Amino acid sequence: MSDKPFIYTFSNAVGCFLYDVNLNQVVKIEKDFYDALNDGLNDIDERYKLFEEYKQLTEIGFLSTNRPSIIENTLTDFAETYLNSRLKSLILQVTQRCNLRCSYCYFSGDGKLTRQHTNKDMTWDLAKSAIDFFAAHSAQSDEVTISFYGGEPLLAFSLIKKSVVYAEELLFDKRIKYSITTNGTVINDEIVSFLEKHNFYILLSMDGPANVHNMFRRYAVDGTGSFEKVYSNLQFIKEKYPEFYKGIEINAVVSRDKDYFDSISFFENDQLLNKSRVHMNRVSDALRTDRYSETIQYRCARKTQLLRDLLDNIQQHNNNIEMRFDTSPDQLRAKFNKTEVLDKRFHHNGPCIPGYENLFIDVSGKFYPCVNASEYSESACIGNLEEGFCFDKIKAFMNIGKLSERECKNCVCMRFCNICPLSIDNNDEFSA
């Protein structure tokens, strides 16, 4: 156990500061005290204890030497209870087929880190077994969500219909929410009528105007862009199902080698979409062997949008576009809520209880923590329909901090760390 204050010091044009890990607070300090603190943190010099600022700060709880002695996820104690009786959401991979080949999609990659698109569909027997399993393990949940995922899930629309009818018979005593993620190309009147009747939440993929969208989101059969079909389908929904249309949200993927203001301007000004909720996500190279690099145009766009978000926040303007790859002013503010001193038992925030909030079941009946897992990964596979949950693997998933326990105990970033096990998965083990 170190006898040094568990803090991080830094300075900038505004002044000198310390961040107290135990209290999760930043405080401005005088330059002389800052210099003495830095000397004391780096060697045995403790002159900083003579400063009046030291006495004032320690009186109100700052500068504690307290550090966790065990890196262990406290949620581990509750994992079996939650997974056996309180599941919240089931995600069914109803098909691995897709009619598009989006260039950045990891299912369109080389197949080395995760699967490629295939012609496999989930059978009705397996879908029924998955819903049965979910029902048996969500007995204490009053409200549940069932989601449909692909590939392009609407290519398996008949299975979706059958699954919804069965779920409503089996889970009659619960409030059921349904959701689907779709590329928007195979929508028709029968599909929309069914989705509206069952109050589906729709997340529809569109990257921006035609010149942006069609650059990446192309049909598998001939390589042509899909923008015109997606846009006309949205127009159809808005005209025939106006109330249902209001609930459709847009998922836009931002390329890291281009300025993305064409997309922002499109979503802000297009008459069809300017009231839609838009989630903008940066293209990810997870589960791909190729790597994306950021250009100066992208960085400039990102910094400009951050400034716009900050000004909107200050002026309390509502913005329909959510930048999911940058921390918003509200999120940043929330990160520095004052806390109690660290417990002796601590683990960073990245690992969830895998399967509790998003139990993903693939076409073969294997269980994964969510849709972001590699379907080749033994580390991420947490069970299957025949054998149920594998709690040994689940507990290992939840406690990846054990891989670097010594470093984690003394890391000043422990309250901000959000490393998910899936981001350190090399398909046969989690990597320190």
Confidence of residue 127 (pLDDT cuts 50, 70, 90): very high
* pLDDT at position 1: 52
CA gyration radius for the chain? 25
Any idea which residue has 């943190």 for tokens? Answer: 41
The answer, yes or no, to whether residue 336 has pLDDT greater than 90, is no
Contact between 272 and 314 under an 8 Å Cβ cutoff? The reply is: no
Q: Using the 8-state DSSP alphabet, how is residue 359 labeled?
A: E
The one-letter amino acid at 327: T
The one-letter amino acid at 260: Y
Count the alpha carbons within 13 Å of 303 in the hemisphere toward its beta carbon.
Answer: 6
User: How far is 89 from 140, CA to CA, in rounded Å?
Assistant: 13
* pLDDT at position 349: 92
Contact between 179 and 144 under an 8 Å Cβ cutoff? The reply is: no
Confidence of residue 331 (pLDDT cuts 50, 70, 90): confident
For the stretch 345-398, pLDDT in tens is 999 999 999 999 999 999 999 999 999 999 999 999 999 999 999 999 999 999
**Region of poorest pLDDT, from 139-148, 323-332, 404-413:** 323-332
What is the average per-residue pLDDT within 31-56? 93
User: How far is 19 from 368, CA to CA, in rounded Å?
Assistant: 37
| Count of other CB atoms within 10 angstroms of residue 222 | 6
What is the average per-residue pLDDT within 328-347? 82
Question: Strand pairing of 200-205 and 175-182?
Answer: parallel
User: What are 70's strand-pairing partners?
Assistant: 345
User: How far is 358 from 336, CA to CA, in rounded Å?
Assistant: 28
What is the average per-residue pLDDT within 264-286? 92
User: How far is 432 from 417, CA to CA, in rounded Å?
Assistant: 15
Contact between 51 and 36 under an 8 Å Cβ cutoff? The reply is: yes
Q: What are phi and psi of 315, to 5 degrees?
A: -85, 0
For the stretch 135-168, pLDDT in tens is 999 999 999 999 999 999 999 999 999 999 999 9
For the stretch 176-211, pLDDT in tens is 999 999 999 999 999 999 999 999 999 999 999 999
Confidence of residue 309 (pLDDT cuts 50, 70, 90): confident
The count of residues in the chain is: 432
- 3-class state of residue 27 by DSSP: strand
